[in-house]
Amino acid sequence: MTSLFDLPFEDEPDPEPEPAPEPPRVPGRPAGSAEILSVSQLTADLRNVIEAQFPRAAVEGELSNCRSWNGQLYFTLKDASAQLRVVMFRTAVRLLRFKPEDGQHVVARGRISVYEPKGEYQLICERLEPHGLGALQLAFDQLKRRLAAEGLFDESRKRPLPALPRKIGVITSLDAAALRDILTVLRARHPHAHVVIRPARVQGDGAAQDIARALAAIGRVPGLDVVVVGRGGGSIEDLWAFNEEVVARAIVRCPVPVISAVGHETDFTIADFAADVRAATPSAAAALVASRYEEVCGRLLRQRERLRSALGSRVLRLRGRVQRLESAPALAGWPGRLAMRGRHVAETTHALQRAVRGSLDRAARRLAGLHNRLEARDLRRRVGLARGRLMQADGRSRAAMIHVQHRRQAQLAALAGRLDSLSPLAVLGRGYALCWDADAQTLVRDAAALGPGDRVRVVVSRGAFEASVTRIEAVTGEAGTPNDRPER
Amino acid sequence: MSTPDIKDFEAALVELEGIVRKLEEGDLTLESSLGLYERGIALSRYCHARLEDVERRIELLNERGELRPAPANLTGGDDPERKGGR
């Protein structure tokens, strides 16, 4: 940078004009004449002389009384013993790359002229540069300090890049290598990228404004995930647009995260400080975006795999447990055994039912016979009782095991035997007779209850007859025997 | 595929990671494992769809704010001067 200022001054301001062998080069006015001039004429003459003498001046001094008015800048340049008025017109002010402030040591270049209304000579400054430190460096430092104080570069303001950057805005020059680099990287590593390019001039006059406009415009594109703004490498002058305040502010205002990608590995630009993420080069910015995409793809694939294997192994574990249980000795063969048991139970039940039914049928047949035989007798109660018990036995038998059935059979047989033995017919068959009182209501068990002349009804094995009592014999303990005899 | 209760891609991915962790810890009933698994598959499908539902496209945003397909020399694949070399 200093090289700029090492140039020899082309036009040393010289307070004493060279003694001219000829009169001043003012046409039509001979020197030495005492012609009376108006103030305007003299001033105009002076102006012509001065402007001709100092068409290009470079003056070094300290800035003071610095003020701007209507886009123009006025200040005084001074050193220990003199001062010079300076004016900068709007076009020159626009090219300023730093903010002139009182006390700055500067070099002002331009031409000397006369401001006729005031009769003052002044430097019309076309370029103003800080002395020593480069103008750009100074401008950079000033802007950086100012924006930092405003909080524009705060880490807390930085937005994270989206996990899945799909729609990517790119702001750069359309014909620069930077754009091709970005597209090449994205093509290779982010096959689903949707790229929206907003062309912008990235160097030269108005580049900063163009970039700022582009940022505003691309911020209005719906669904954008991230914006890359940048250019390839170059000199500090080439990159200057990225050190301008408008760009920094446009980056901060952009509604989606911004990656700065100004091709300069070592130095940072103001845009780098303002951006949410800084990439060293346009390719690096594209790689950053692509790596987010790749990372997320990888993450998803891994989760998918783990999801599958997690459930898979869970099912396998459970299946293994079930299989182990199935093959455990305690359970092994159970199905077969159960089937066998089932068949056995079915067969047994069937046999039981058959047996019970058969014996019940037999019993019922015998009972029916007995019933018939007993029908006329007063044994219904007993038979009913027996039937009830039989039915009960029947019900219980159906559910019982074989030995129960056997017991029931035995019981049935016993019951039948008892019924048989209780049958008066059997007794009558053996020669006994039943003797009823006259109205056939009461069996005669005591001879004392009768008297001669009473009528009785006598039932024998086959048939019955009526008889009258002729004589009552003495009532003794063994009443049976005498009664036997008369019937023989 | 509509999965109404998924906020966005990132949320879906984070939820999926949580489900996988839970499943891997393994102290769940088979029923809740299956429920989680189904949810996980839905999330994974959603994420994949989101990853792939953008077609590679290069557009230019012009001064009037209109989006136009980028000229062929930018879209790469069919760029004649880039063919046959890197």
The ipTM assigned to this model is 0.72
Cα A233 to Cα A82, A242, A283: the distances in Å are: 44, 12, 12
Contact B51 A196 (CB under 8 A): no
Q: What is the pLDDT of residues A267-287, one digit of tens each?
A: 789 999 999 999 989 999 999
Cα A330 to Cα A326, A342, A395: the distances in Å are: 9, 19, 36
CA distance A107 to A125: 10
Predicted local confidence at residue B9, as pLDDT: 81
Predicted local confidence at residue A481, as pLDDT: 46
Contact A370, A423 (CB under 8 A): yes
Predicted local confidence at residue A426, as pLDDT: 64
Cβ contacts (< 8 Å) between B66 and chain A: which residues?
Answer: none
Q: What is the mean pLDDT of chain A?
A: 79
Asked if B40 reaches chain A (Cβ–Cβ under 8 Å), the answer is: yes
Contact B61 A307 (CB under 8 A): no
- Show which of residues 292-321 on chain A sit within 8 Å of chain B, judged by CB atoms: 293, 296-297, 299-300, 303-304, 306-307, 310-311, 313-315, 317-318
Cβ contacts (< 8 Å) between A192 and chain B: which residues?
Answer: 51-52, 54-56
Ranges of chain A whose pLDDT falls below 50: 1-15, 17, 20-21, 23, 376, 478-488
Longest Cα–Cα distance in chain A: 217
Q: Which of B27, B53, B54 to mutate to test the interface with A (most CBs of A within 10 A)?
A: B54
> How crowded is residue A329: how many other Cβ atoms within 10 Å of its Cβ?
6
Ranges of chain B whose pLDDT falls below 70: 1-4, 26, 54, 76-86
Predicted local confidence at residue A172, as pLDDT: 93
Asked if A162 reaches chain B (Cβ–Cβ under 8 Å), the answer is: yes
Predicted local confidence at residue A240, as pLDDT: 86
Cβ contacts (< 8 Å) between B76 and chain A: which residues?
Answer: 183-184, 187
Q: Is the pTM of this model over 0.80?
A: no
- Show which of residues 46-65 on chain B sit within 8 Å of chain A, judged by CB atoms: 47-48, 50-52, 54-61, 65
Contact B51, A164 (CB under 8 A): yes
Q: What angle do CA A213, A214, A215 make, to 5 degrees?
A: 90
Reference A84, options A50, A37, A134; nearest CA is A50
CA distance A292 to A289: 5
Predicted local confidence at residue B85, as pLDDT: 38
